[in-house]
Amino acid sequence: MSFSARELLLGAYEAFNRKGVDAFEALLAPELRWQERARSAAFNPATREEVLSRMRALPSWREVLMEPQDVLEADDRLIVVVRERPRAGARNAPEERTRTHVWTIKDGQAVRLEIYRKRSDAMWSVVGYLRLLERLHAYLRPRTYVEIGVSKGHSAARALPGTKIIGIDPAPRLFDPAIASTVEVFRYTSDDYFANNDLSKALDGRPIDLAFIDGYHMFEYALRDFMNLEPYCSEQSVILAHDCYPISRETSTRERTTAVWSGDVWKLVVCLREVRKDLDVHVVDVRPTGLAIITGLDPNSTMITSGYDEIVSRYTPTDYDVLEESKEERLARVDNDWEAITQLLPEPYQDTSDGSDDDPMESVSSTKSYRRTGEPASP
């Protein structure tokens, strides 16, 4: 009899509650990636025995009962909202709380386990911008990756092992040593960094292959980030910018008034499409607030630097009304469809003929929709 991934998982939680950590043994693949706690951001490679041994050692696994509250399925991933509470007699267990586990199941075994405090973060990892970032890294295989706005490292953790990663953030929160050790972080605002540092030195003289702008959520900051990154690019580089397909007028104001806030970064797209017609600028409508993909870069272009003041005074007052009228067109919207997205990308920077395509990050398949288990997938 074959079991669905959902049945396997629910059975494993049930056995875990009866017998403890060792009940997960049959579920775990011999080698997997796992995020030990919600506080961490890295997906550390580990053997099944190593994972079980850590689970036995940690009160947050050993001393709790885990009750699945909700299960969502998206391709090879299952999102399980879990209510955790101390087992009888627990001494060091955390207080009752909810966590969201994201399991990647391949051939009936778990090859990856992610843990999130917020269900929304788990969703971005499965169907949102973090998943898209992961696919971009897996496809492009950049040798160098520059991230402006690192925070806890959830996005930087999507880079493949071996990538030279530079992070720029005045207040990074890289709690997880496994991710902190892979990112060379410069604790400056991006303006200060570029004013006083030579990025090419940090990249050992190589150009940027891939960059991600996710710092301060205002148009002119994102524009300067773009302007400061482009000279370090090659014509084949890709610059990504977060927050370029805003949800609503309320979440797109220059002053933050909402919990979800993407500011007016979207004006970067409107501006570049008009001022830099030599670039290819598109925005993937990926949750929560879109990801711009900018290619056709010209490291010698002076069009923005020379007209910076005039450009900022022209585009900063642009009202959200322009999006109410023609959002898809003004922002060059593209579906979050992997086939369509690959048409926008250059060739991979490194070939895959070295046999390294057994990385679990490679095995990501198309995810346009997700569903609760038992429900039909939307068309």
Distance CA 338, CA 377 (A): 18
Q: Which range in 55-63, 77-85, 209-217, 321-329 contacts ligand SAM by CB under 6 A?
A: 209-217
Pick out residues in 163-192 that bind ligand SAM (CB under 6 A): 168-171, 189-190
Cβ-based neighbours of 205, under 8 Å, separated by 6 or more: none
Given candidates 75, 76, 214, 264, which one binds ligand SAM under the rule CB under 6 A? 214
Cβ-based neighbours of 311, under 8 Å, separated by 6 or more: 223, 271, 275, 304
Q: Which is nearer to ligand SAM, 24 or 221 (CB)?
A: 221
Cβ-based neighbours of 304, under 8 Å, separated by 6 or more: 223, 226, 227, 230, 275, 276, 311
Q: Which is nearer to ligand SAM, 221 or 315 (CB)?
A: 221
Q: Are 82 and 116 in contact, with CB atoms under 8 Å apart?
A: no
Distance CA 299, CA 296 (A): 10
Min dist CB 137 to ligand SAM, Å, is 13
Q: Which range in 69-77, 200-208, 210-218, 346-354 contacts ligand SAM by CB under 6 A?
A: 210-218
What is the residue type of 245?
Y
Given candidates 207, 215, 263, 360, which one binds ligand SAM under the rule CB under 6 A? 215
Min dist CB 370 to ligand SAM, Å, is 20
Query: Count of residues binding ligand SAM (CB under 6 A)?
Result: 17
- Taking 3-state DSSP, the helix, strand and coil percentages for the chain, each rounded to the nearest 5, stand at 35, 25, 40
DSSP letters along 65-112, please? EEEEEEEEEETTEEEEEEEEEEPTT-SSPPPSEEEEEEEEEETTEEEE
Q: Which is nearer to ligand SAM, 237 or 289 (CB)?
A: 289
Q: Which is nearer to ligand SAM, 152 or 333 (CB)?
A: 152
Q: Which is nearer to ligand SAM, 6 or 164 (CB)?
A: 164
Min dist CB 189 to ligand SAM, Å, is 4
Cross-strand partners of 353:
none
Q: Are 33 and 47 in contact, with CB atoms under 8 Å apart?
A: no
226 DSSP 8-state letter: H
Distance CA 309, CA 315 (A): 10
Min dist CB 190 to ligand SAM, Å, is 4
Q: Which is nearer to ligand SAM, 120 or 350 (CB)?
A: 120
Q: Which is nearer to ligand SAM, 47 or 248 (CB)?
A: 248
376 DSSP 8-state letter: P
What is the residue type of 330?
R
Q: Residue 216: name the closest of 185, 261, 184 by CA.
A: 261
Min dist CB 130 to ligand SAM, Å, is 7
Residue 43 interacts with ligand SAM (CB under 6 A): yes or no: no
Q: Are 264 and 332 in contact, with CB atoms under 8 Å apart?
A: no
Q: Which is nearer to ligand SAM, 104 or 190 (CB)?
A: 190
Pick out residues in 137-156 that bind ligand SAM (CB under 6 A): 148-152, 154-155
Pick out residues in 263-302 that bind ligand SAM (CB under 6 A): none
Min dist CB 243 to ligand SAM, Å, is 8
Q: Which is nearer to ligand SAM, 213 or 281 (CB)?
A: 213
Residues near ligand SAM (CB under 6 A) are: 148-152, 154-155, 168-171, 189-190, 214-216, 221
